[in-house]
Every structure is written in C-alpha cells, then in structure tokens.
Structure 1
Amino acid sequence: MALDDCRLNNLRYIDRWFTWERGRFLSTNIRERLDRGVATLNWVNLCLRYQLEHLNHSFSDHCPILLDTMGKQRDFSCHKEKSFRFKAKWCSEDSFKEEIRRNWNDISGSVSNKLGRLGQQLQRWNRYRAREYKKNHVNFEERINCLYIQDSTDEILAEITYIQLGLNLKAEQEEIFWEQRAHVNWLKYGDKNTSYFHKVVIQRQLRDQIKELKGRMVKELPQMKRCSRLLRISLVSCFRLRIWVQMNVFLD
C-alpha cells in the first residue's frame, strides 16, 4: 500500500534472484527475495544507466544490495603516485613480517636509508598484494555465483560456506583499513575549527547523553531535581555499602 501511494516501482536487478538465505545444509536451506530496491519513474528517467546488484554475502542472512547510479561507467584514468603510508591491515597478512625481515636484511647503509628503501619495497609488495587480492576476490565471486546457479547439495553448500569465510576475512581487512582512515581524519582535522570537527563533537555529545536512569522507583528519566536526588541517594548507598564491607573484613 505504501509503495503504491508513493508510486514506487521495483528496480531491475542482476545476479542471483534471492536476497536472503538461511541454512547450510540442503534439508534446511531456504532462499527468499526479502530485500529489494524501489524508485519512482522520475528517478529512473534521471538515472537511466543505473545498476542494482545482489552482492555475495558472508555470514549475514541478507545479501548486500549495491545501487550504482552511473552503471559502472566512470573515468579511472587519473592516477598519481602516493607517498608511503603504513596500512594497519598489512598486519593481518601472513607474509608481512617475513617481507619486512627479508628486505631489511638485504638493504645496506644507514638506518634512514634502509627505512626509505624498505618503504619502497613495501609499496611494491602492497601493489602486488592488491592485484592478488582483486584476483582472488574475483575468483571467489565467480565461483560462488557458479555454485548458486547449480542445484543445491550438501557439498555445494559446504563449499559456499568455505568461500564466504574467505570473503569475510577480506571484509575484516577492509574494515581495519577504514578504521585507520577515520583515525587519520581525526588527527588531521580534529584540532582545526572545521565542520568535520563540529560534526564529530556533536555525534559524541549525542552518544554521551544520559537518556535513562534505572532505579527501584524510577522507570524513565526524571526531572532535573529528581535526577540529582536519585544520583545522590545511589552514591551514598554505594559508599555506605563499601564502608560496611570494609568494617566486616576488619572485624573478621
């Protein structure tokens, strides 16, 4: 009813038909299309090249849905050389420590020279790992898409679970990367009088607000006077209880 009132229509999609899956064995496996993209006709006419994808999921029941308004037609020709930056997600790579140890032992000269050369080697290693990551990710995606169009069996569902485990590991590495990027943004802009700083402060203030107090007689946040009284009673009770416990320990 709400979709009709708002004149929203289902958007066409690519890849698998379902967006929700539960059950790792054939006897318990259920697939449904619970999530979908909708838009008005005016929006569709505005974004004629849109593309809606049902992406592969890892251990969530729901598949991510990606709406690309440009239809993947972008210009990626603009690239520039970036200075060396350490990436926290490297620490999750099994070969990272060995890469540092091998290059450090092979490089001669002063410490500053060795650090500079090591940074260059790590950049090359990172580009190689990025290509390998992309290649493996594509292979995972192609393999899991191939498995999903086959008739389900316990063996196929087991292989899907194994591939989802690999995709989940890659997702954790990406999460580490974006957490580090958020921290860098705070160090870069946090001390400046910028809109970024104010947005972060406002978010923290909202998160730190006391919205409810739990007491014997209080179910909701009371008025300021009652709130102060409740806090004072709670603190006095905790202090008296601690004194009573210490006295008992001393007397024993």
Structure 2
Amino acid sequence: MDRFREALEDCSLTDLGFMGDPFTWCNNCHNSDGYIRERLDRAVADIDWRSRFPSYRVINGEPRHSDHRPIIVVLNEEEGAIGSQAAPAFRFEAGWAKEEECATIVENAWKLTVGPRAGSVEDAVREVAAELLDWSRNVLGDLEKRIKRARRALEECRRNTLDARTVAWEEILKYKLEKLEEQRSFLAPKSTPALIRKR
C-alpha cells in the first residue's frame, strides 16, 4: 500500500472520494468467518482534471456478477442528456405474451378500432401499440420501485456489522435483486429495429 501511495504522490494524483458503499471488493464468502470486505478500487485524478470537471461525482456502483463494485465517474449532471429525438420505435416483446393481462389489452385496444370507429389496420396496430406501451410502463414502474427497495435493503445490509446472519441475509437480498432485474430485462422494451414507428 505504501508503494501505491508513493505512485499517487509521484503522479500528483488524489483520491476523488465516493458516494455509496465504502467497500469496493468482497470475497463473496458465504460464512461470516471468512467474509472479507475492503476498499480496493478508487477513482483518482490530478489538479488539472479536477479543474476541468469541477462538478464530477464518483459513485461506487452495484456489483452484479463480480466481487468488485464498478467505480462510476459522472462528469456533470447533463452528461448523457440527448436532445430531442424521433419517437421511439415500437416492438412487441415476447415476454409480454407470457403476462396474463397482455391478451386482454390487445383485444380491448383492437376492439376500439373496429365498428363505427373503424380505421386502417395501421391505426388499429398503432392503438394496440400505445396501450401495450402504457401497460408496460405501469408494470415496469412498479417493478422499478421494487428494484430500488431491494437495492436499498442490500446496501443497508452491506453496511451492517459482519456476522453469520448478515452474510446469509446479503445472499438472499442479492438473489432477490437479481431475479427482479431479470424480470425487468424480460419485460422491458428493447432498442432494436422497429416494426412500427410512432407518429
């Protein structure tokens, strides 16, 4: 560790600090006797970099399938903001068909476009697409809240005193979070080539 500190000093680098859990690595041991947590990873920069990006933030991210947390450096609040774009393409997601409500939503939306209100097939498909996207947003909105709660519970667990109960509870919470995220990726619309463009 002394050589690491010397290298930082020689290069005029300082630790940028962080938000989130202080421990960036754990050995993923399933019992408290062998469980180890450390702050191994960090973001560093020199004075020129810090003056160039004064509103930076460093976030110790969520480890998914690794024993290390990702170190995320956000340069400013606007980073990643994209100007106005065309409406996103609609694509029916196979995962939706496995949800009980999906067939009913499609049938009801289709019925709205037949009879006296009949329009083109394109109008009917557009109506179905709009209803499915609204439904998906509502389902995913609830799912996002559950994922946030699970992440918060996991972070709180990781900050607790290390004992057998905490290690076991962390494993349960990691599994729960992973399943919720799998469900989200299964239900969420993917950004792939469009079948229908919203107007």
Q: Is the shorter-chain TM-score for this pair beyond 0.5, marking a shared fold? A: yes
Matched, 1:34 2:40: yes
Q: Decide whether aligned partners of structure 1 residues 26 and 51 sit closer, same or farther in structure 2, where only a CA change above 3 A counts.
A: same
| Structure 1 residue corresponding to 2:13, chosen from 8, 30, 46 | 8
Report deviation, 1:53.
1.1
CA contact (8 A) 1:84 1:123 kept: no
Q: How does 1:17-166 map onto structure 2 within 5 Å?
A: 17-22=22-27, 23-70=29-76, 72=77, 82-86=87-91, 88=93, 91=95, 96-106=98-108, 107-108=110-111, 109=114, 112=121, 114-166=124-176
**Larger radius of gyration, structure 1 or 2?**
1
Which SS does the other structure have where 1:127 is aligned? helix
Instruction: Compute the TM-score of the two structures, normalised by the length of structure 1.
Output: 0.58
Letter of the structure 1 residue corresponding to residue 44 of structure 2: V
Instruction: Compute the TM-score of the two structures, normalised by the length of structure 2.
Output: 0.71
Show structure 2 runs of 5+ residues with no match.
Answer: 1-5, 195-199
Q: How does 1:194-233 map onto structure 2 within 5 Å?
A: none
Show structure 1 runs of 5+ residues with no match.
Answer: 186-252
Report deviation, 1:149.
1.8
Which SS does the other structure have where 1:146 is aligned? helix
- Residue-pair matches, total: 179
Using CA pairs under 8 Å that are at least 6 residues apart, name the structure with larger relative contact order, 1 or 2. Answer: 2
Q: 1:38, 1:100 → 2: CA distance?
A: 49
Which SS does the other structure have where 1:63 is aligned? coil
| TM superposition outliers: structure 1 runs of 4+ over 4 Å | 73-76, 78-81, 171-178
CA contact (8 A) 1:84 1:119 kept: no
Q: Which has the higher helix share?
A: 1
CA contact (8 A) 2:13 2:45 kept: yes
Letter of the structure 1 residue corresponding to residue 103 of structure 2: R
Query: 1:172-204 deviations in whole A, cap 9, x for unaligned?
Result: 8559979x54x649xxxxxxxxxxxxxxxxxxx
Which SS does the other structure have where 1:52 is aligned? strand
